[in-house]
Structure 1
């Protein structure tokens, strides 16, 4: 058994799609729209066939900016080298995204940095 995909809601579907396409090489399908509910979705596919469904619909409730809450904590993307973690982290910072930590080697041996995507979802960049 494997995880098929993870889904997140967003108030700005096109902006989030652009973020994952630009920085994480996501490939999107065609937008799905349900006229009865107003639901709009994209499936974003990443190298290795991992998928993220991003969704929007009218009347979404804003997420609180608290990183220590129950539920989904972060999405982790793996690159091949520490230099790639450093490089992508620097590009994201330069482009205005918030750095939470790193790049650094964690106590459990991962070389990582953590940033926030446009909606405040925590993204972890790790070296393989």
Structure 2
């Protein structure tokens, strides 16, 4: 068994699609639109065939803050600490917020935590 995909509601679908294409080499499927519900989605597929579904729908409300019960982040394993450092630097240079790191955490992970354009946490790990 494996997880097929994780889905994320977003405010700016095109900005988020471009972010994951640009910095995580995601391959994007054709946009899907359901005119009855207003749902618009993209499936993003990464090199290992892991998928992220970005979704936008007019009746979804924003959380007033990001510390809520439920899923909290997505982690990308880059395979090497130098790659974690490089992508963290590249995102910082593009004015994306680095929440912490790169560093070795108390549980032994080498990681940095960056925020995507809508403030969702992404862990970059080895």
Q: Same fold (TM over 0.5)?
A: yes
TM-score normalized by the length of structure 2: 0.95
The secondary structure found in structure 2 opposite 1:107 is coil
- Corresponding residue for 1:49? 49
- Corresponding residue for 2:102? 103
Kindly indicate whether residue 125 of structure 2 is the aligned counterpart of residue 126 of structure 1. Answer: yes
- Corresponding residue for 1:32? 32
Give the CA deviation at 1:7: 0.2
Question: Displaced runs of 4+ in structure 1, greater than 2 A?
Answer: 63-67
Count residues in correspondence: 126
Deviations 1:33-82 (A, max 9, x none): 01111110000000111000000011331123334x32101100011211
- Corresponding residue for 2:114? 115
The secondary structure found in structure 1 opposite 2:61 is coil
Structure 2, unmatched stretches of 5+, are none
CA distance, structure 2, for counterparts of residue 103 and residue 31 of structure 1: 34
Deviations 1:85-122 (A, max 9, x none): 01100111111111111000011111100011011110
